[in-house]
Amino acid sequence: MSSREFNLPDVGEGLTEAEIVAWKVAEGDTVTVNQVLVEIETAKSLVELPSPFAGVVTKLLVEEGTMVDIGTAIISVSDAGAPATPDATPDAAPASAAAPAAAPAPSNDATETIADTAASIAADDDKPGAVLVGYGIKGHVAPRRNRQSAADAPPTRAAARPSSVPAASASAIIAKPPIRKLAKDLGVDLATVTATGLAGEITRDDVVREASQASLFRNIETPQWATDREERIPVKGVRKAIASTMVSSAFSAPHVSLFVDVDATRTMEFVKRLKNSPDFAGVKVSPLLIMAKAMIWAVRRNPTANAQWTDEEIVVKHYVNFGIAAATPRGLIVPNIKEAQDLPLIELARAIEQLTITAREGRTQPSAMAGGTITITNIGVFGMDTGTPILNSDEVAIVALGTIKQKPWVVDGEVRPRFVTTLGASFDHRVVDGDVASRFLADVASIIEEPALLLD
């Protein structure tokens, strides 16, 4: 019998350390290849590490809450009791080990209200587990069981059931561990959720829909004062990285900010038409989608708003990795949609959905936050009119979308109720001069005022 140690890998971005947040296995457990062993927090995000080999856990070498340098041995696994089949997949892992990391509560920013985001694409459930740097993806994956057809599937909880069925079975809840975790984090009671899955299971869409109806962004209860007079929160992980990045951005890039009030009535009408369109069936549409498209369009007309400053040169990027700022209990993250300039409207909508739910579940990977070129922050979900956002690292422009609400507005000499919003934008004045900044924001505003311009 031999024993092997698993060293903490660099999960990307050239990280030097990470915190052991939660072990997903215990000493004496049998583990399979790709089974999740531990959840770690890097300076970027929460990451689940899968096992590169099978066997029995002999010792957990690092306690939860400990900061560990990359390359440090964190767990020892012996080959005694290893499964006979070396090609074990994540499906073979016990449900308790496969449970996802603690997901953050709903974000602000960009991710809009829960009502404005759909759940992740169904196919996401069929993707393989996380892959460690240096280990790669296994070439063979055991086939999954076929889903039951609609005819063979058991009736959903909302469907009528024969009177002979015991009451207990009528209230059975079918939901995968990640869905149960999402429901817990969003404060959703699964017993109140109507299942729409083919086999009567509760899907991510079902949970998000229920959360929307519960209006989670409204604080209807005021907690009691804490018994401790003070709380001390260690500055580490994501919060430490945020502090460093914000200070660097605020004091190295000379910010200039602009603001404009916009009549968004036609955008709201356009969003309503898209929601009723068969082409967008099953896709959640919101004003954020139109804002994203407007910014991408404005970048094409004003390329230097999509650039990077270095001491030697200005790098103008002729592609858009569109960042959406997401505030979570663990701190601000800015995942981005790669090559967003190539996506048609419906694909951009789906990409925003996927980004949103992934961030809420705490599954955003470092690679998803790297290489951004321009960012939006949606402060309107909290009823804020506007703000002066700080630039994301290595970017020269960021736009804040304020709340959209009815206000008196002069149209053709008459005061009428219109849906109005305020756009606020910050630019790196080393790269973006006042005229370019003004033209860029004016272009974004023109799309919000008349989305038909996107069809040119």
Residue 91 backbone phi and psi in degrees, to 5: -65, -25
**Which position among 140, 255, 318, 429 bears the catalytic label?**
429
Among the listed residues 57, 11, 69, the one whose alpha carbon sits nearest the alpha carbon of residue 32: 57
pLDDT at 456: 54
Chunked into runs of 10 residues, the chain (456 residues) has average pLDDT values of 84 74 91 89 76 90 88 88 49 42 41 36 36 35 41 43 39 79 80 84 82 52 78 78 80 92 96 92 90 96 95 94 83 90 95 87 83 94 89 94 94 94 96 95 96 81
Torsional class of 136: left (φ above 0), alpha (ψ -120 to 50), beta (otherwise): left
Torsional class of 197: left (φ above 0), alpha (ψ -120 to 50), beta (otherwise): beta
pTM given for the model: 0.59
Burial of 92 (0-12, 13-18, 19+ CB in 10 A): middle
Task: Give me the CATH code for the 237-455 domain, please.
Answer: 3.30.559.10
Q: Which fold has domain 3-94?
A: OB fold (Dihydrolipoamide Acetyltransferase, E2P) (2.40.50)
- 255 catalytic per annotation: no
Q: What contacts 90, CB < 8 A, 6 or more positions away? A: 34, 35, 36, 50, 98, 128, 129
Note whether 381 and 397 are within 8 A (CB).
Answer: no
pLDDT at 150: 43
Buried-state track 372-405, b at ≥16 Cβ within 10 A, e below 16: bbbbbbbbbbeebbbbebbbbbbbbbbbbbbbbe
Any idea where the domains of the chain sit in the sequence? 3-94, 237-455
pLDDT at 83: 55
Tell how far CA 371 is from the center of its chain: 16
